[in-house]
Amino acid sequence: MTQPTKPSAGALRAAKEWYVYPKDSRVESLAYVIDRETGMAELLEAAKVAVGELDCSGTIDFLTAGALKKLEQAIAKCERKE
């Protein structure tokens, strides 16, 4: 899997916790490391694919609906920018 062109918003938020100045050039570098070492970029991509497949299946039972909602919430949290 290729490295994304930008680190995830969640990794950027985590990286900013390490530096006093959020505009520090090392923040983005650290965010890439966080994504790479945690597998966050791959998990986020897989979650998006799963949501797309569940949405397209047309038959969502109660358990699947709950899982779909949790995946959508997790994706939103990863992509939320602050």
* Structural domain includes residue 37: yes
Q: Which domain holds residue 46?
A: 9-79
pTM check: above 0.75:
no
Radius of gyration of the chain (CA): 15
pLDDT in tens, 12-60: 888 887 776 767 778 888 888 888 888 877 888 888 888 887 767 666 6
Count CB neighbours of 6 within 10 A: 13
Number of independent structural domains in the chain: 1
* Structural domain includes residue 3: no
